[in-house]
Amino acid sequence: MKIIKTENYDMMSRKAANIIAAQIINKSNSVLGLATGSTPIGTYKRLIEMYKEGDLDFIDIKTANLDEYKGLTKDNDQSYYYFMFNNLFKDVNIDIENTNIPDGTEPDSKKECERYEKVISDLGGIDLQLLGLGHNGHIGFNEPQDDFVKTTQCVNLQESTIEANKRFFNDVTEVPKQAYTMGIGTIMKAKKILLIVNGEGKADILEKVVNGPITPKVPASILQLHPDVTIVADEAALSKIKM
């Protein structure tokens, strides 16, 4: 795992955006795996700036997002579709037809998981997967569990995840209890992985991800086995790791 330490969140976002920009410049029809949460917002802002400055072209870019809450419609302001549209897609020249997110409104989990897995394989796989890190070590919505799940799945969210994400909702009861997420196997098939982490609150879990045993109890620890992972993290998040 290659680790890039930055002074703060802003520099983490700039470095991560540069890595994604390099991917787009090197392969204009790249398939980007995208993430939501508060961590990537600055990265997306910087990518928008680069696009507006004329340095990036998204016209042939295709995307596949990691996850989506089950039960939320696209126009719900807490859906990940809404997040992606408002934090990136609407401000760059991407063709919305080339963007993919699990369909939270599909009630048949088996059907939706199979459909989404096929979407990714039809795209030819993911060139660069951007990841944030949950406080319990989750990536996408792959919560700590007894086994690594290979393909796209419907998961029950843990109490700690519901608690962490309630800040975006009016009330904790509004946080969906289930989500669709790419499986760990789907994520591990990406050619390159870019994990971004910031803040002291993630220092303990990041240390376990990097140095701890590889275990489904810390889902992101599997990244130790991926041949091309870059972690861009700020000093606070890296404070428990000797470099």
Binding residues for ligand GLP, rule: CB under 6 A, are: 35-39, 66-67, 132-134, 140-141, 161, 165
Q: How far is the CB of 134 from ligand GLP (least distance, A)?
A: 4
Contact 33, 126 (CB under 8 A): yes
Tell me the C-alpha distance between 9 and 112, whole Å.
Answer: 35
Catalytic center residues? 67, 136, 138, 143
The residues that bridge with 72 in the sheet, in sequence order, are none
- Rama region for 73: left / alpha / beta (φ>0; ψ in -120 to 50; rest): beta
Between 165 and 186, CB nearer to ligand GLP: 165
Angle among Cα 107, 61, 154 to the nearest 5 degrees reads 20
Closest distance of CB 42 from ligand GLP, Å: 11
Burial of 137 (0-12, 13-18, 19+ CB in 10 A): buried
β-partners of residue 192 are: 128
- Give the residue with the Cβ less far from ligand GLP, 48 or 195: 195
Nearer to ligand GLP by Cβ, of 26 and 38: the residue is 38
Cβ nearer to ligand GLP, comparing 33 with 58: 33
Give me the amino acid identity at 227.
P
